[in-house]
């Protein structure tokens, strides 16, 4: 099928590449000419495992194209997928301006009947507005239907999550739209859950917010474990055998980040308030996560007289391993506080440094300095204190004795619980983690 995809970020580009991989003819649309040329050369603008390999493969087959010419991409497409961003507004609502721009471009250029599919995460009821908006601006006498097809990608595993999804959610208002989406997804050979549009929109938020709740609950329990002398890892293991709870998302840490959970919890909370309902469980998850992100800093602040003039090793910058994304990353809030306190930070991350430099340029910042290094060992050399923010394999490979050997003062605050308490104690490391 001839498919156009608007947007080449995590949602749009991954979807377009995977559609081409299963045999569709796909054109990815972006407004940035330099980005289009980069993708045409087989280089991915985002850090995502396996994506470049599939781009090069499908570029070569001729099934995958890139363009800034949205008019030509949309005019004869049988289906147009919208995968542009819906960033968070100051009040927590979703900014739909990028979707509106694409919808008007579609309305003014489409020349045949087609299906418009919204993959972007949008508030419940948005697809109804999208369909009406497109009809309001249609130039030609063609039939355009709108469907909801929310994505469920985890950054770092987005390609696998698309090609081997647990299920595909489609939301339609007609049998024709449902049949077309079924045809598009047939080559994936995956379970398809077909519902109404508003239900599909809600499923996306309900899933993400439930996982955010699970993370915040475990972090809350971890904090209580510290106070009563229990071990959160023992607690999580005991919980994991209960099939009603499951094994995933039970790890305690320094809170969730990224482009989905923080934004989606706030968006659903805003939507609930708009209709006069308080989602108190989601409110609690947001508040717990906000406090959890700086828990390590507060622990260290209680221990130290000052951070001024101290060499602080920061291991890991991205919000999780396997991505270069720093959006809502706990490291950012901690680094900001440490710089304000006068710390000299030496940061290591295998993928996130280029993006981190946009937020924290090298050199003097506030009372401290920001430095980037090429290895964990370089960050740890003669450091007075170390914070572990991300569970990269390169950081996990640092042994307890390495902290003792390399650091001036082997004092470690670990937000990912990477080490056994006994191992760090035996190595002579003063070690603080979460919930233990």
Tens digits of residue pLDDT in 121-139: 999 999 999 999 999 999 9
What mean pLDDT is predicted for residues 403-410?
98
What pLDDT is recorded for position 190?
A: 97
What are the C-alpha distances in Å from 216 to residues 170, 221, 290, 331?
29, 9, 10, 17
What mean pLDDT is predicted for residues 67-93?
94
What mean pLDDT is predicted for residues 356-383?
98
Give tens-digit pLDDT for 190-229. 999 999 999 999 999 999 999 999 999 999 999 999 999 9
What pLDDT is recorded for position 45?
A: 92
| Cα atoms found within 13 Å of the Cα of residue 339, Cβ hemisphere only | 21
Q: Tell whether the model's pLDDT for residue 359 goes beyond 90.
A: yes
Q: Could you tell me whether strands 368-372 and 363-365 are parallel, antiparallel, or unpaired per DSSP bridges?
A: antiparallel
Q: Which own/partner contact pairs does 280-285 have at CB distance under 8 Å and 24+ positions apart?
A: 281/213, 282/209, 282/212, 282/213, 284/213, 284/216, 285/209, 285/212, 285/213, 285/215, 285/216, 285/217
Give tens-digit pLDDT for 276-317. 999 999 999 999 999 999 999 999 999 999 999 999 999 999
Give tens-digit pLDDT for 141-190. 999 999 999 999 888 899 999 999 999 999 999 999 999 999 999 999 99
Quick one: what percent of the chain has pLDDT higher than 70? 100
In total, the chain counts a number of residues equal to 436
Give tens-digit pLDDT for 372-383. 999 999 999 999
* Complete domains list, the chain, with CATH: 2-195 (3.40.50.720), 203-292 (1.10.1040.10), 295-432 (3.40.50.720)
What pLDDT is recorded for position 100?
A: 96
What pLDDT is recorded for position 259?
A: 81
pTM greater than the 0.75 cutoff: yes
What pLDDT is recorded for position 260?
A: 87
H or E segment to which residue 314 belongs: strand 311-315
What pLDDT is recorded for position 212?
A: 96
Q: Three-state DSSP class for 29?
A: strand
Torsion-angle region of 138 (φ positive above 0: left; ψ -120 to 50: alpha; else: beta): beta
What pLDDT is recorded for position 256?
A: 93
Average pLDDT across the chain, whole number: 96
Q: Tell whether the model's pLDDT for residue 2 goes beyond 90.
A: yes
Q: Calculate helix-pair angle for 197-228, 126-137, nearest 10 degrees.
A: 140
Give tens-digit pLDDT for 93-108. 889 999 999 999 999 9
Query: Is there a contact between 398 and 375 (Cβ–Cβ < 8 Å)?
Result: no
What pLDDT is recorded for position 199?
A: 98
Active-site residue list: 260
């Amino acid at each position: 099928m001839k498919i156009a995809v608007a947007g080449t970020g995590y949602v749009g580009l991954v979807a377009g590449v995977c559609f081409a991989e299963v045999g569709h003819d796909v054109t990815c649309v972006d407004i940035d000419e330099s980005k289009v040329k980069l993708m045409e050369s087989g280089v991915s603008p985002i850090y995502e495992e396996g994506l470049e390999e599939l781009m090069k493969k499908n570029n070569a087959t001729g099934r995958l194209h890139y363009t800034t010419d949205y008019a030509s991409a949309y005019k004869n497409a049988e289906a147009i997928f919208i995968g542009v961003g819906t960033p968070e507004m100051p009040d927590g609502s979703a900014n739909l301006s990028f979707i509106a721009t694409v919808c008007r471009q579609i309305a003014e250029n489409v020349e045949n009947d087609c299906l418009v599919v919204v993959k972007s995460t949008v508030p419940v009821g948005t697809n109804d507005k999208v369909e009406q908006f497109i009809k309001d601006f249609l130039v030609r006498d063609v039939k355009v239907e709108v469907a909801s097809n929310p994505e469920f990608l985890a950054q770092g595993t987005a390609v696998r999550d698309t090609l081997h999804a647990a299920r595909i959610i489609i939301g339609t208002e007609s049998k024709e739209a449902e049949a077309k989406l079924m045809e598009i997804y047939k080559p994936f050979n995956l379970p398809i859950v077909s519902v109404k549009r508003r239900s599909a929109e809600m499923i996306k938020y309900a899933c993400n917010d439930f996982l955010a709740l699970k993370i915040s609950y475990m972090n809350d329990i971890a904090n209580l474990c510290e106070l009563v002398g229990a071990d959160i890892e023992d607690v999580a293991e005991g919980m994991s055998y209960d099939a009603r709870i499951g094994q995933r998302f039970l790890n305690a840490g320094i809170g969730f980040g990224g482009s989905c959970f923080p934004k989606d919890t706030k968006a659903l909370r805003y939507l609930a308030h708009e209709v006069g309902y308080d989602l108190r469980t989601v409110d609690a998850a947001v508040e717990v996560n906000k406090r959890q992100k700086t828990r390590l800093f507060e622990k260290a602040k209680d221990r130290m007289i000052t951070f001024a003039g101290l060499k602080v090793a920061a291991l890991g910058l991205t919000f999780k391993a396997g991505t270069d994304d720093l959006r809502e990353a706990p490291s950012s809030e901690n680094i900001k506080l440490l710089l304000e306190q006068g710390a000299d930070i030496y940061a290591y991350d295998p993928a996130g440094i280029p993006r981190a430099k946009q937020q924290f340029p090298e050199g003097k910042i506030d009372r401290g300095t920001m430095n980037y290094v090429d290895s964990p060992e370089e960050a740890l050399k003669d450091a007075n204190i170390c914070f572990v923010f991300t569970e990269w394999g390169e950081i996990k490979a640092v042994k307890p004795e390495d902290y003792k050997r390399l650091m001036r003062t082997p004092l470690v605050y670990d937000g990912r619980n990477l080490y056994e308490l006994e191992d760090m104690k035996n190595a002579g490391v003063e070690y603080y983690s979460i919930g233990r």
